[in-house]
C-alpha cells in the first residue's frame, strides 16, 4: 500500500478541493458520463510530471485549470497533490518506494494560467527532472504504462516498436538507466562542446603566447645585457668617481704653491716697478756735476790758451834769439838789409794760428781781435826790420827778448795754475759722477729684477695653465660622469647608481683601461637599446598570465578528455545494463504474457519480439562543424499473437474485444514482472462481455496483490472487486463532487 491520497484543487472540473484516499488495494471510481472520472486519471498523469497536454486532453496549460461555470468563477491555478506512504513494508527489508528519506512523501504540481508549472516534493520546490528521476526508480515513470486512459487499453498495441520499448523499459524500472544514459550523452555533448571551446580559446591565445615568448626571449637577452651593463657601469662609476675626487684634490693641492708664488711674484713685481719708478736715470744728472763740467771746460780752455801763448812766445823768443845772433853776425859782417824767407814764413804761420783760433770761436769780436793782433804783429815785424838796419837794432832785440821772456813766464804760471785747477776739478767730478752712477746702478738692478720676475711669472703661469687645463679636464670628467649616470640609470634602472659599496682591487690602473671600459659601456648601451624591448615588466606579467591560462586550458583539456572518456565508458556500461535487463525483462514478460493470453483466450499464443530498425541519425563529427548522417540500429518491440482456432496472426486483424483482452494480458504481464506501486485503469473493461469481465475481475484481484489499483469503471463486476468506491457527480454548477459510496450506491451511481 503505497498510495495514500490524491488531492485536486482547481484541476479541470474539480473547482473545489477534493481528496481521494486509497486505503484498500482496489479503489473504484464510478459516476455518470461527463462527471469528471477521467479528470482524476489525468490528475495522476499531471502530478507525475506528464508533459504531453494532449494525453491530458488539453492544448494549453490553461486548459487544465478550472475554467468556471455559470455559477462559479474560474480558478487561477490547478493543483494536484499525491501522497505516498514511503515507509518500508512491515517486516520487509529492501528499498523504500521513493529514494528519499521521508516516511511520507507528497508530490505536488501546480500550473498557472500563464502556463508556468511548479513542482514540489514535501512542499519544497524542485525541478521536473528531480520528480522524473524519483519516480523512474519506483517504476512510475512518465510513459504512463500504469495509467491506462479511457480508450487507451490497447495503446500498447497501437504504439510503434520504439514506444513499446519505452513503455516496457519504464515498466521494468530500467528507464532510470535510459535517463542516466541520456544525461550522460548530454553531458558528453556538453563536454565535447567545452573541449571545442577550450581548444578554440587555446588556439586563440596561441599566437599571442608565441609573440610573448619571443618577447620574453628578447627580455631575457636584454636582461643579460642589462645585468652586464649594470655590473660594468657600477665599476666604471666607482672608478670614475674615485678618479675625479682624487684628481680634483691633487690639482687643488698642486695649485696652492704656484698660486702663492704667483701672488708673491706679483707683489715683487710691484715693488721692483716702484723701485724703478723711484730710482735715478741719466736725465737725472745732478746740477753740481754740470757746474763742475762747465768749470772743467773753462779751465781747460785757459790751460790750452796759456799753452798756446807760451808756445807762441817760445817761438818768438827763439826767433828773437836767432835775430840777435844774426844781428850780431851782420853787425859783424855789416850786412845788407835782407829779410830772411824763414822769418816771413814764421810770420805767416803765426797769422794763420791767430786766425784759426778766432775762427774756432766764430764770433765777430774774436775775428776783430784776431785781425788787430795780426796787424800789430805785422807792424812790429816791419818796425823790427827797419830798426835792425840801424845800429840800435841790437838793443831793441834784446829788450824785446826780455819782454817776451817775461810774458812767457806769466803764461807758464797761468798754465800750471790751469793744470792744477783741472786736476782738482777732475777729481771732484769723478767722485760726484761715481756717486751718481752708483745710484743709477740700483735702478738697473730693480729693472733686472722686473725681467727676472716676469720670466718666472711666465714659467709659473705656464705651470698654472697646465694645472688649470687638468682642472678643466677633471671637471669635464665629472660632468660626463653625471651624464653617464643619468643615461645608464634611465636605460638600465636605478640599481646601476648603487655603486658605493663596489670594492675595487687596490693599486694603480692606467687611465686608458677606464677609457676602454667606457667604450665597452657605450657598446652595451647600444646593444640594450637595440633589443628594443619596452614595458618589460608588463610583458613578463602578461606572459606569465597567458602561459598560466594556456596551462590551465591544457589541464582543462586533459580533464575534459578524461571526463568525456569516463562518460563514454559510463554510457557504454549503461547501455549494456539497459540491454541486458531489457532482454531479461522481455523474457519474463513473455512468460506471463503467454499465460495471461492463454487464460483470457482459452489458448493461443502471444509473445514479444525485439525488433531492429535502422534509423538515420544526424550527428556532428568531432572537430568538424559539418553534420553527417549516420545509420544506427534502433531496437523496438513487436507483438506477435495467434488466437486459438483462428488463423489470425497480426494485431490489426483482432476485434475490439480481442484487442482489449490482448492488451490487458500484456499490461498485466508487464506489471507482473516488475509491479508498479499502483495501476490506474480507466474503463479498460469497457469492451468486455460478462464472461470476460469475470476473467478480468479475477486478474485484477490477482494484480492487486502487487499493485494498488484504481479502477474507473461502469462495470458492475469490476466494481464488486473494489474495497472502496468513490462516486463522482456533477450538478448544475458544472463542478465535480466526490463522495465515498457503497457498492449498491455505486451500481446506482454508475448507471
> How many other CB atoms sit within 10 Å of the CB of residue 197?
13
Least Cβ distance, residue 656 to ligand ATP (angstroms):
17
Instruction: Select the span of 36-44, 165-173, 373-381, 621-629 touching ligand ATP (CB under 6 A).
Output: 36-44
Binding residue (CB under 6 A) for ligand ATP from 12, 96, 326, 384? 12
CA atoms within 13 A on the CB side of 617: 11
Closer by beta carbon to ligand ATP, 50 or else 316: 50
Would you count residue 85 as binding ligand ATP (CB under 6 A)?
no
Closer by beta carbon to ligand ATP, 12 or else 81: 12
Helix/strand number for the chain, H first, E second: 15, 14
The whole-angstrom separation of Cα 727 and Cα 736 is: 10
The whole-angstrom separation of Cα 95 and Cα 98 is: 8
Three-state DSSP class for 629? Answer: strand
Instruction: Select the span of 61-69, 453-461, 608-616, 627-635 touching ligand ATP (CB under 6 A).
Output: 61-69
For residue 305, which phi and psi values (nearest 5 degrees)?
A: -60, -45
Closer by beta carbon to ligand ATP, 56 or else 654: 56
Three-state DSSP class for 73? Answer: coil
The whole-angstrom separation of Cα 35 and Cα 30 is: 9
Would you count residue 718 as binding ligand ATP (CB under 6 A)?
no
CA 646 to chain centre: 92
Would you count residue 33 as binding ligand ATP (CB under 6 A)?
yes
Closer by beta carbon to ligand ATP, 114 or else 537: 114
Question: Among positive and negative, which fits the CA dihedral 472, 475, 479, 485?
Answer: positive
Binding residue (CB under 6 A) for ligand ATP from 34, 89, 476, 650? 34
Would you count residue 9 as binding ligand ATP (CB under 6 A)?
no
Would you count residue 36 as binding ligand ATP (CB under 6 A)?
yes
Closer by beta carbon to ligand ATP, 70 or else 124: 70
CA 202 to chain centre: 23
Three-state DSSP class for 446? Answer: helix
Least Cβ distance, residue 679 to ligand ATP (angstroms):
17
Least Cβ distance, residue 728 to ligand ATP (angstroms):
6
Q: Which of 549, 600, 680, 632 is CA-nearest to residue 149?
A: 680
Q: Which residue has the cell 695649485?
A: 255
**β-strands 104-112, 77-85: how paired?**
antiparallel
Would you count residue 693 as binding ligand ATP (CB under 6 A)?
no
Least Cβ distance, residue 63 to ligand ATP (angstroms):
6
Three-state DSSP class for 517? Answer: helix
Binding residue (CB under 6 A) for ligand ATP from 2, 66, 237, 582? 66
Binding residue (CB under 6 A) for ligand ATP from 5, 55, 67, 369? 67
The whole-angstrom separation of Cα 397 and Cα 107 is: 208
Closer by beta carbon to ligand ATP, 57 or else 322: 57
Instruction: Select the span of 31-39, 302-310, 542-550, 632-640 touching ligand ATP (CB under 6 A).
Output: 31-39
Instruction: Select the span of 32-40, 219-227, 369-377, 589-597 touching ligand ATP (CB under 6 A).
Output: 32-40
Cβ–Cβ < 8 Å for 670, 168: yes
Instruction: Select the span of 60-68, 94-102, 208-216, 511-519 touching ligand ATP (CB under 6 A).
Output: 60-68
| Contacts of 144 by beta carbon, 8 Å cutoff, 6+ apart | 45, 48, 50, 55
> Taking CB under 6 A as the rule, which mask of x and - marks residues 145-174 in contact with ligand ATP?
-----x------------------------
Binding residue (CB under 6 A) for ligand ATP from 39, 178, 247, 693? 39
Would you count residue 13 as binding ligand ATP (CB under 6 A)?
yes
Q: How many residues bind ligand ATP (CB under 6 A)?
A: 14
CA distances from 417 to 289, 302, 426, 550 (A): 22, 9, 14, 141
b/e for 699-712, b at 16 or more Cβ within 10 A?
bbeebbeebbbbbb
Would you count residue 35 as binding ligand ATP (CB under 6 A)?
yes
Binding residue (CB under 6 A) for ligand ATP from 25, 31, 79, 677? 31
Binding residue (CB under 6 A) for ligand ATP from 38, 86, 106, 708? 38
Would you count residue 675 as binding ligand ATP (CB under 6 A)?
no
| Contacts of 217 by beta carbon, 8 Å cutoff, 6+ apart | none
The whole-angstrom separation of Cα 453 and Cα 636 is: 135
Closer by beta carbon to ligand ATP, 37 or else 81: 37
Closer by beta carbon to ligand ATP, 116 or else 431: 116
The whole-angstrom separation of Cα 379 and Cα 367 is: 18
Would you count residue 63 as binding ligand ATP (CB under 6 A)?
yes
DSSP 89: P
Please give the residue ranges that form the binding site for ligand ATP (CB under 6 A).
Answer: 12-13, 31, 33-39, 63, 66-67, 150
Amino acid at each position: 500500500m503505497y498510495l495514500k491520497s490524491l488531492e485536486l484543487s482547481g484541476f479541470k472540473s474539480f473547482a473545489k478541493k477534493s481528496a481521494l484516499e486509497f486505503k484498500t488495494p482496489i479503489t473504484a471510481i464510478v459516476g455518470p458520463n461527463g462527471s469528471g472520472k477521467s479528470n482524476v486519471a489525468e490528475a495522476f498523469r499531471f502530478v507525475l510530471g506528464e508533459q504531453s497536454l494532449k494525453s491530458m486532453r488539453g492544448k494549453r496549460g490553461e486548459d487544465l485549470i478550472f475554467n468556471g461555470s455559470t455559477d462559479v468563477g474560474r480558478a487561477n491555478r490547478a493543483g494536484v497533490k499525491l501522497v505516498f506512504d514511503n515507509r518500508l513494508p512491515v517486516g520487509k527489508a529492501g528499498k523504500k518506494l521513493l529514494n528519499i528519506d521521508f516516511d511520507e512523501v507528497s508530490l505536488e504540481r501546480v500550473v498557472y494560467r500563464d502556463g508556468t508549472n511548479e513542482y514540489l516534493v514535501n512542499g519544497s520546490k524542485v525541478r521536473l527532472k528531480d520528480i522524473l528521476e524519483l519516480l523512474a526508480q519506483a517504476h512510475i515513470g512518465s510513459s504512463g504504462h500504469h495509467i491506462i486512459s479511457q480508450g487507451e487499453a490497447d495503446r500498447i498495441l497501437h504504439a510503434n516498436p520504439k514506444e513499446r520499448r519505452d513503455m516496457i523499459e519504464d515498466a521494468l524500472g530500467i528507464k532510470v538507466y535510459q535517463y542516466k544514459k541520456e544525461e550522460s550523452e548530454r553531458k558528453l555533448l556538453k563536454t565535447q562542446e567545452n573541449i571545442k571551446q577550450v581548444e578554440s580559446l587555446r588556439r586563440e591565445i596561441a599566437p599571442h603566447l608565441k609573440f610573448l615568448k619571443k618577447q620574453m626571449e628578447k627580455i631575457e637577452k636584454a636582461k643579460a645585457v642589462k645585468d652586464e651593463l649594470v655590473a660594468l657601469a657600477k665599476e666604471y662609476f666607482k672608478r670614475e668617481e674615485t678618479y675625479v675626487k682624487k684628481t680634483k684634490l691633487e690639482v687643488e693641492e698642486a695649485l696652492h704653491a704656484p698660486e702663492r708664488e704667483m701672488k708673491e711674484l706679483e707683489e715683487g713685481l710691484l715693488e721692483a716697478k716702484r723701485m724703478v719708478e723711484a730710482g735715478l736715470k741719466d736725465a737725472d744728472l745732478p746740477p753740481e756735476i754740470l757746474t763742475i763740467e762747465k768749470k772743467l771746460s773753462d779751465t781747460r780752455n785757459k790751460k790750452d790758451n796759456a799753452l798756446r801763448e807760451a808756445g807762441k812766445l817760445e817761438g818768438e823768443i827763439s826767433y828773437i834769439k836767432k835775430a840777435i845772433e844774426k844781428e850780431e853776425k851782420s853787425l859783424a859782417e855789416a850786412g845788407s838789409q835782407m829779410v830772411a824767407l824763414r822769418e816771413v814764413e814764421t810770420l805767416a804761420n803765426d797769422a794763420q794760428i791767430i786766425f784759426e783760433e778766432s775762427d774756432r770761436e766764430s764770433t765777430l769780436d774774436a775775428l776783430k781781435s784776431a785781425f788787430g793782433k795780426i796787424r800789430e804783429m805785422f807792424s812790429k815785424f816791419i818796425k823790427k826790420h827797419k830798426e835792425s838796419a840801424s845800429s840800435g837794432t841790437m838793443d831793441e832785440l834784446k829788450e824785446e827778448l826780455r819782454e817776451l821772456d817775461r810774458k812767457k813766464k806769466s803764461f807758464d804760471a797761468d798754465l800750471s795754475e790751469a793744470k792744477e785747477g783741472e786736476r782738482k776739478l777732475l777729481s771732484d767730478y769723478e767722485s760726484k759722477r761715481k756717486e751718481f752712477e752708483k745710484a743709477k746702478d740700483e735702478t738697473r738692478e730693480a729693472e733686472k729684477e722686473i725681467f727676472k720676475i716676469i720670466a718666472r711669472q711666465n714659467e709659473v703661469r705656464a705651470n698654472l695653465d697646465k694645472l688649470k687645463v687638468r682642472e678643466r679636464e677633471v671637471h669635464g670628467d665629472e660632468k660626463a660622469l653625471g651624464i653617464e649616470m643619468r643615461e645608464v640609470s634611465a636605460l638600465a634602472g636605478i640599481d646601476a647608481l648603487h655603486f658605493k659599496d663596489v670594492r675595487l682591487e687596490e693599486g694603480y690602473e692606467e687611465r686608458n683601461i677606464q677609457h676602454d671600459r667606457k667604450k665597452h659601456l657605450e657598446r652595451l648601451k647600444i646593444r640594450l637599446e637595440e633589443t628594443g624591448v619596452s614595458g618589460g615588466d608588463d610583458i613578463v606579467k602578461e606572459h606569465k598570465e597567458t602561459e598560466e591560462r594556456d596551462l590551465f586550458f591544457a589541464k582543462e583539456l586533459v580533464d575534459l578528455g578524461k571526463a568525456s572518456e569516463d562518460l563514454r565508458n559510463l554510457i557504454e556500461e549503461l547501455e549494456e545494463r539497459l540491454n541486458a535487463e531489457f532482454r531479461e525483462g522481455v523474457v519474463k514478460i513473455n512468460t506471463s504474457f503467454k499465460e495471461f493470453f492463454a487464460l483470457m483466450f482459452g489458448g493461443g499464443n502471444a509473445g514479444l519480439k525485439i525488433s531492429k530498425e535502422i534509423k538515420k541519425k544526424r550527428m556532428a563529427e568531432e572537430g568538424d562543424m559539418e553534420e553527417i548522417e549516420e545509420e544506427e540500429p534502433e531496437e523496438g518491440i513487436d507483438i506477435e499473437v495467434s488466437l486459438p482456432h483462428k488463423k489470425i496472426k497480426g494485431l490489426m486483424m483482432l476485434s475490439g474485444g480481442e484487442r482489449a483482452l490482448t492488451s490487458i494480458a500484456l499490461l498485466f504481464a508487464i506489471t507482473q514482472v516488475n509491479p508498479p506501486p499502483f495501476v490506474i485503469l480507466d474503463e479498460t473493461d469497457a469492451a468486455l462481455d460478462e464472461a470476460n469481465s469475470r476473467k478480468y475481475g479475477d486478474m485484477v484481484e490477482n494484480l492487486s496483490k502487487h499493485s494498488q489499483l484504481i479502477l474507473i469503471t461502469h462495470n458492475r463486476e469490476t466494481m464488486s472487486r473494489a474495497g472502496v468506491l468513490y462516486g463522482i457527480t456533477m450538478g448544475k454548477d458544472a463542478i465535480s463532487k466526490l463522495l465515498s459510496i457503497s457498492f449498491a450506491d455505486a451500481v446506482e451511481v454508475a448507471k
